[in-house]
Structure 1
Amino acid sequence: DVCPHPVLNVSSRLRSLSRLQRIQGHMMSSHVEPEVLLEKVGRAGVITMNRPKVLNALNLSMIRQISPQLKKWENDTETDIIIIKGVGGKAFCAGGDIRAVTEAGKLGDSLAQDFFREEYILNNAIGTLFLALVLLHLQGVGLSVHGRFRVATEKTLFAMPETAIGLFPDVGGGHFLPRLRGKLGLFLALTGFRLKGRDVQRAGVATHFVESKKIPDLERELVELKSSSAENVSRVLDSYQNQVRILRPVPTLTIQTYKPKQGILQNLKADGSEFSKKQAEILSKMSPTSLKITYKQLQAGASLSLQDVLVMEYRLSQACMRGRDFYEGVRAVLVDRDQNPKWNPSTLEEVSDQSVDQCFSSLGEKDLTF
């Protein structure tokens, strides 16, 4: 057959093929190197995130390897401890592979449901694991923040910048963020503020702080423990944390919040300090819909179990997949990188409480179940 517009036809097919390949990459590895390494070292199960070129971003293929392995080790009488780490030195795990999920959502592919559903089930498995679980070089939130022992180093960078891409701090963010001291969690959730190094532990996101050069020794000592009880693991981690020199005290940041939601911006502007002005400027660039969803998410999550929070967040994820801001945010921040998203609605005042409430509505038989 002869196509009347062969160049246009080929170009269109190539674009579709590119999208399809990105989605299929979630289902199967196209790498020679495995994306996640699963090994047994003595009585320790070791999971290594192995996608350094993309900061060890988590995809569906990796989730489907990690989840059954966690169950297997949990039921294995010869496994006492699980250690999760990342290769490459830059990131433990940069979170979910958002660009692939975005392409799936545009095409109506089931990955937009499957990824969130299976990732949240994995988050819950980590949060309810009775084995001692140690996460080294803490970074990716869903894989790390629900674990019993979370180790940060001076290289650790923690942030949940989802409101900048029309999303919300998911993977159980609605559970752990409201439980940080004061209103720090709400501040981190709305602004995407970055915590670095020791501040990650001071904030309560990590349980321990260890110098990165001592991580190999720490891992070796954990693996060689004859009894990996929570008490013994805690003792080892404490001993490494106690080796850290404290160079200077860090000032405490007090975050206040106000009602109604728009009042946060108004009060920041009225405060007049450089810090307040900067945060007001940051909030003004975020998706107004995401800000309101996130505010309500953390309010509700403060009194819910992790499982109930994940059910709520799955509903929110699917609302974002149905909406506009998520695709526009990913375009502006991750694809075109013009940092100039056109939000719809464009102001907080235009986002109705009814539209926010609808995002929290039950999905019926499509709700997340454990």
Structure 2
Amino acid sequence: MDFGGGDEIRFERQGRVGIATLARPRALNALTLTMVRGLAKALDAWEADDGVAAVLVRGEGRAFCAGGDIVQVYEARGRGNPPVGFFAEEYQLNARIARLKKPYIALIDGIVMGGGVGISGHGSHRVMTENALFAMPEVGIGFFPDVGGSHLLPRLAHHFGFYLGLTGNRIPYGDALWSGLATHTIKAADQEAFVASLAESGDPDAVLADYHAPAPRESEQAVLDAIDDHFSKDSLVGVVSSLEEAAGRDEFAARTLATMRSRSPTSLNVAFREIASGAALSMDDCMRMEFRILNRMLAGHDFYEGIRAAVIEKGTAPAWQPARLEDVDEAEIDAYFAPLGDRELTL
């Protein structure tokens, strides 16, 4: 079964389920345009096929999908050709997944970050094993939580999405289940049996009733209470001030503040606003907002500087512009959200 994925994403029909397997394990299944286009074609075909009751997406190797190929983004800038088109098709796919009329099961057994969240977080069933590790680390590379992060993160329990988006911190599967990022958790050893049962019945709810093994929440209640308190503020300044006030007596607040201070000040401001705005927007409107932000990020400084420091010259410190939260110009943040005219994302 070939939907144009080449050797980067495999497609097969197993019983009543269409299965897509991300097949770039050495690159942690980082998304390419070929993969995005292949999965989009598969969804169109499988949605129209009465013999396919559900779609399942999984990753090969130790990652579900660790994001997009940001080195290609960096290199494209050097050629004077920022990859706006790639992001447009990726965002269209994210919105397509959210609109799919059949069950969409993401089987997450390993790392899921960035673009991997975009092809898993908007499906009807988000199934994680104990090997799953979730993060939206974009503010650490001068970017923002995209691929529908503005729709997903504000809907998590107790302001947990603001915490994840503004720190980029990783969480295990127990916290993912508690917060609502995962809908179910199963044992890694049960994956193949789960897929076989799903292929036979085509009913993910019935199958998950047998395989769901609830994961215990891993963060302590005191930490979750602190997150709910600090990240419930109505502005980024309020969040930072709350953490500063508690940092002298609370290790969590001090550690979280230090993490945020290391992130791009511009990205933090953009991220807070997009997550707060996304709470009242549809998925499609969130994607249009994110595409506006994306275009300005690709024309700016910090995204490329973050890639340089994290990947190109790995281990070096990024030089953000501006370097301090206090120096961010609110009018410049406004510009990230301005309409694009005839360049708006079409969905």
TM-score (norm 2): 0.91
Q: Using a 3 Å threshold, how does the CA distance of structure 1 residues 245 and 286 change in structure 2: closer, same or farther?
A: closer
Alignment match of 2:50 (pick from 77, 85, 91): 77
Percent identity among equivalent residues? 39
Shift in Å at residue 263 of structure 1?
2.9
Shift in Å at residue 39 of structure 1?
1.1
SS in 2 for 1:34: coil
What is the match of residue 259 of structure 2? 282
Alignment match of 1:166 (pick from 142, 156, 174): 142
Residue 70 of structure 2 aligns with an amino acid whose one-letter code is: I
Whether 2:12 is the aligned partner of 1:39: answer: yes
Alpha carbons 1:152, 1:198 under 8 Å: kept:
no
What is the match of residue 208 of structure 1? 184
User: 1:238 and 1:262 mapped to 2: Cα distance?
Assistant: 44
Whether 2:170 is the aligned partner of 1:197: answer: no
Alignment match of 1:127 (pick from 98, 106, 113): 98
Alpha carbons 1:37, 1:50 under 8 Å: kept:
yes
Equivalences for 1:339-350 in 2 at 5 Å? 339-350=316-327
User: 2:321 and 2:218 mapped to 1: Cα distance?
Assistant: 43
What do residues 126-149 of structure 1 show as CA deviations (whole Å, max 9, x unaligned)?
A: 111011111101622001000000
Unaligned regions of 5+ residues in structure 2, if any? Answer: none
Unaligned regions of 5+ residues in structure 1, if any? Answer: 1-27
User: 1:218 and 1:259 mapped to 2: Cα distance?
Assistant: 43
What is the match of residue 115 of structure 1? 86
What is the match of residue 177 of structure 1? 153
Shift in Å at residue 42 of structure 1?
1.8
User: 1:250 and 1:57 mapped to 2: Cα distance?
Assistant: 28
Residue 367 of structure 1 aligns with an amino acid whose one-letter code is: E
Query: In the comparison of the two structures, how many residue pairs are matched?
Result: 331
What do residues 186-207 of structure 1 show as CA deviations (whole Å, max 9, x unaligned)?
A: 0100001111122211111010
- Most deviating of 253-262 and 90-99: 253-262
Whether 2:105 is the aligned partner of 1:105: answer: no
User: 2:236 and 2:84 mapped to 1: Cα distance?
Assistant: 30
User: 1:160 and 1:245 mapped to 2: Cα distance?
Assistant: 21
Shift in Å at residue 273 of structure 1?
0.5
Whether 2:236 is the aligned partner of 1:261: answer: yes
Higher gyration radius (CA): 1
User: 1:75 and 1:240 mapped to 2: Cα distance?
Assistant: 28
Equivalences for 1:308-323 in 2 at 5 Å? 308-323=285-300
What is the match of residue 241 of structure 1? 212
What is the match of residue 298 of structure 1? 275
Alpha carbons 2:95, 2:284 under 8 Å: kept:
yes
SS in 2 for 1:183: helix
SS in 1 for 2:63: coil
What is the match of residue 91 of structure 1? 63
Q: Using a 3 Å threshold, how does the CA distance of structure 1 residues 296 and 79 change in structure 2: closer, same or farther?
A: same
Shift in Å at residue 235 of structure 1?
2.3
User: 2:215 and 2:333 mapped to 1: Cα distance?
Assistant: 47
What is the match of residue 353 of structure 1? 330
Shift in Å at residue 267 of structure 1?
1.9
- Would you identify which runs of 4 or more consecutive aligned residues in structure 1 move more than 3 Å? none
